[in-house]
Amino acid sequence: MKRKRTPVLAFFGIMGVLILLLFVLDIMLGSVNIPFKDFWGIIVGDEAVSNVSRQILIHFRLPKVITAILAGSALAVSGLQMQTIFRNPLAGPYVLGISSGASLGVAIAVLGSSAIGLGFWFGQIGVVLAALIGSMLILLLIVAVSIRIRDIMTILILGIIFGMATSAITSILQYFSSEGSLKTYVIWTMGSLSSVNGSQLWLFSGLVIIGQILAIALSRPLNVLSLGENYARSLGYNVEKIRLIVFVSTSLLAGTTTAFAGPIAFIGIAVPHIVRLILHTSNHAILIPSTLVTGASIMMLCDVIAQLPGSNLVLPINSVAALMGIPVVVYVILSKKRFAQH
Amino acid sequence: MSKLLRSYSGKNSLHLFSINQIIPYFLFALVLIFASCKNSQTEKSTQTDNNIEPKYAKGFNIDTSNKKITINIFNPWQGAHEVVYKYSLVNKKNPDFNKVDNPIPYPVKRVICMSSSHVAFIDALGQSNTLVGLSGTKYVYNPNINKEIDSGALVDVGYDQGLNYELITSLKPDVILCYGVSEESLSYLNKLKELGLHVMLIGDYLENDPLGKTEWIKVFGYLFGVPQKADSIFNIIEQKYNSEKTIASKYQSGPTVFLNTPFRDVWYFPGNDNYFVKMIKDAGGRYLFSNLKGSQSYPISTEIAYKSGLNADVWINTGTAHSKADILKFDPRFATLAPFAKDKIYNNYKRMNKNGGNDFWESGTLNPHLILHDLVTIFHNVDVQDSCLYYYSKLK
């Protein structure tokens, strides 16, 4: 590293302020105009705050912002893990087919009844469970394969193939389903941060926190792995075991996020690159926490944009995230050489 | 309980029939006969220009000049602009059959339908035996049509892009009645035309007036060669609808009305010109999103929807939610909405078959007066029993 490093402490200091700022911004801005004094009133426990403001702030905005933080950090960290494990700059949380697995689960739950008479539509929590089961099943398949196969590229290819297979089944379900359920499914694929409610938030945050702890604990082995599998083996690391734990962590992070918020693209690919560009480091002990905070803040920023403050409309979060992430991915492709140097 | 709460049970109405009640109908029929005689005389005198312009519908007119019947269909899909389809109803044996625009064998004897609302029109005209194919037979509610399906006389021909073309051809239909969702849907129509089949676009679902939708029965009347029957059915429904509207207009203040359920965090609310919004107004309700222009639906954020619903008086059309527990499965936050607490949530799912086929979407186009009656009943009564409603049920 010839270039001067951005001091890590300064980075975290700035991110801390940014997160706080975006948190307040994301809570304040939305379709319904809420005066700042109501927001302040709720924080200091003023009883005189109007019921509408209270309901919207506490039951809509707060869970939404927390979901944005959880989803953004989870996707970014799992993306980083995948990029390191596969040593591929364009890998992301979904390369293992986790989102396709989740999509298949949701497709069976939402479209199944009208297509094959097999569905079990029981509201939002049903969708969440279906997505979780779908992504976990794909993970089991990947784990089973990775125990037998040592070559990581084969696992990557199999992950993509499994993803394609589930997409094919999903297409068949879509093809035969009724318009109403098709719409429910399509809207799910667009992602949403605001459909997670209070009680689900506990489950969501619990699973994501376990995934994050695993990720942070894995930072040293990941450092070694990024220098090559053979090198790691020569140092006495059990590469297969590390991989397995990384897969579990990724599926907890990305699988749970997909289950609760739908598939959200590009955040997972773009954020690790943004962090690398700023910090010029490949030390995962620094990269993982910084990716975590950057992912959270970028997701909140995406949500502020998606809310189109002052309008009655909300844009699908997936599209906003893609539009934010694509320039970064393009930059990475164009300067691939530079990535290889890191 | 208000006198509005009439029963729809068939038994009751049989008991109530008496000679006294039949007399006015008899007189009315006589008047109709004289009127129609008079009409046919005037028709003869102005044979050159004989357009039948619908009273409410905007999507069609019928030209019967020079002993020919031409049905003009306008803009038959969403977003169509200045599109006209001319369909000529010609006897198959007529040597000119293939020389006219879009010939349709007249009168049609074998019909394939793509929409369930068409089925209701056909059944109302007593022509259900002409149906040979249908898209989505398992969603049919109508008992007459279900009998045909069970006997095997009526088969499922598949969906939009998944149509079973071979089956359709083998059924030898005189006409396939379709609807266009977008310009792209024309591709499957062209495919059907290539197979030498006669396709007709029906745009009843695009009408912005409840009676405009119903008025499409006149098109069906001509297709089957029973235009007078279609006219009389329409006139009766029109009169019933308007008298229901008059009843509703006598109430001083109507309730505020909240609609639909969200697709995740987006609610779709129809604009002010939408037919259902018009029915809410005709029933004396106050639509909460009357600021939305046009007839299309707008995606509205959950926050805005929630804010409006918080103090609404009534909540209707809750989609797949058939109970209050279903609503909570959608989102537990909806429990704080006023209609939830006051038990004023109604959905149009009373008449559904075991596969989820809903008669509201099937015969509702034909029966706007029954929908309006339901809405008036719901809007202006404190406690409504399900037995007083036709399409709607209260969410428990």
Could you tell me if residue A236 is inside a domain? Answer: yes
Comparing CB atoms, the residue among A31, A51, A197 nearest residue B303 is: A31
Is pLDDT of B11 > 50?
no
Q: Which residue of A has its CA nearest to B327?
A: A123
Is residue B215 located within the same domain as residue B270? no
Please tell me which of the candidates B264, B306, B307 has its beta carbon nearest to residue A187: B264
Provide, as residue numbers in chain B, all residues whose Cβ is less than 8 Å from the Cβ of A32.
303-304, 307
pLDDT tens string B130-165: 999 999 888 899 998 998 899 988 999 987 667 888
Q: Assess: ipTM above 0.90.
A: no
User: How confident is residue B39, by pLDDT bands cut at 50, 70 and 90?
Assistant: very low
The tens digit of pLDDT for each residue in A313-326 reads 788 888 899 888 88
The number of domains in chain B is 2
Residue A114 near residue A178 (C-beta atoms within 8 A): yes
Share of chain B above pLDDT 90, in %: 49
Stretch among A5-19, A40-54, A211-225 having the lowest mean pLDDT = A40-54
Q: Which residue has the tokens 């006997």?
A: B151
Q: Is residue A72 part of a domain?
A: yes
Average pLDDT, chain A: 84
Closest CA–CA distance from residue B221 to any residue of chain A (Å): 29
- pLDDT at position B12 is 38
Listed residue (B185, B148, B155) closest to B170, CA to CA: B155
Mean pLDDT value of segment A151-167:
85
Better-scored residue on pLDDT, A205 or A97: A205
What CA–CA distances, in Å, run from A1 to A5, A87, A221, A338? 8, 19, 21, 12
Task: For residue range A169-179, list pLDDT tens digits in order.
Answer: 988 888 887 77
CB B314 within 8 A of CB B346: yes
Exposed, middle or buried: residue A163 (CB in 10 Å: 0-12, 13-18, 19+)?
Answer: buried
Residue A158: give its domain's CATH number.
Answer: 1.10.3470.10
pLDDT per position as a tens digit, B352-367: 888 878 999 999 999 9
Q: What is the mean pLDDT of residues B44-73?
A: 79
Q: Are residues B289 and B166 in the same domain?
A: no
Question: How far, in Å, are A89, A161, A186, A325, B380 from residue A95 at the CA level?
Answer: 12, 10, 21, 16, 57
pLDDT, tens digit, 9 for 90 and up, residues B175-207: 999 988 777 777 788 888 888 899 999 999 899
The pLDDT value recorded for residue B351 is 92
Q: B interface mutation test: which of A314, A315, A317, A319 has the most B CBs within 10 A? A: A314
| Domain annotation covers residue A244 | yes
Q: Inform me whether the pLDDT recorded for B234 exceeds 90.
A: yes
Residues B205 and B322 in one domain: no
**Using the beta-carbon criterion (under 8 Å), do B356 and A114 form an inter-chain contact?**
yes
| A3 occurs within a structural domain | no
pLDDT at B28: 55
Report how many domains make up chain A.
1
Query: Tens of pLDDT along B102-132?
Result: 899 988 999 999 888 899 999 999 998 999 9
Share of chain B above pLDDT 70, in %: 87
Say which residue the tokens 């059959």 belong to: B97
Residue B83 sits in the same domain as residue B221: yes
Q: What is the pLDDT of residue B20?
A: 53
Cα B116 off chain centre by: 9
**Does some domain include residue A192?**
yes
- Pairing mode, strands B256-259 and B286-287: parallel
For residue A200, the enclosing domain spans 8-341
Q: For residue range A117-145, list pLDDT tens digits in order.
A: 554 555 667 788 888 888 888 878 887 88
Q: Where are the beta strands (DSSP E) in A237-337?
A: none
Instruction: Check whether residue B263 and residue B383 sit in a common domain.
Output: yes
Nearest residue of B to residue A124, measured between CA atoms: B330
User: Which residues, 6 or more positions from A3, have their beta carbon under 8 angstroms from its beta carbon?
Assistant: A280
Please report whether residue A238 resides in a domain. yes
Asked whether the beta carbons of residue B265 and residue A194 sit closer than 8 angstroms, the reply is: yes
Task: Check whether residue B181 and residue B91 sit in a common domain.
Answer: yes
Name the minimum distance, in Å, from the CA of A100 to any CA of chain B. 19
Residues of chain B with Cβ-Cβ distance to A110 below 8 Å are none
Which among B263, B306, B326 has CB closest to A56? Answer: B306
> Measured between CB atoms, does A200 come within 8 Å of chain B?
no
Instruction: With respect to residue A309, please indicate whether it lies within any of the assigned structural domains.
Output: yes
Q: What residue numbers bound the domain in which B56 lies?
A: 51-226
pLDDT higher than threshold 50 for residue B303: yes
What's the confidence (pLDDT) of residue A182?
83
B307–A contact, CB cutoff 8 A: yes
Q: Does A305 touch chain B (CB under 8 A)?
A: no
Give the nearest chain B residue to A58 (CA atoms): B333
Question: Is residue B19 in some structural domain?
Answer: no
Same domain, B378 and B292: yes
pLDDT category at B30 given cuts 50, 70, 90 is low
Return the CATH number at B343: 3.40.50.1980
The answer to whether residues B276 and B341 belong to one domain is yes
- Mean of the per-residue pLDDT values of chain B: 84
Give the separation between CA B280 and CA B295, rounded to whole angstroms.
Answer: 14
Q: Has residue A166 been placed in a domain?
A: yes
What was the pLDDT predicted at A13?
93
The answer on B211 and B357 residing in a single domain is no
Same domain, yes or no: B182 and B270: no
| pLDDT, position A316 | 85
CB of B326 within 8 Å of any CB in chain A? yes
pLDDT at B113: 92
The answer to whether position B12 is within a domain reads no
Residue finishing a domain among B226, B261, B295: B226
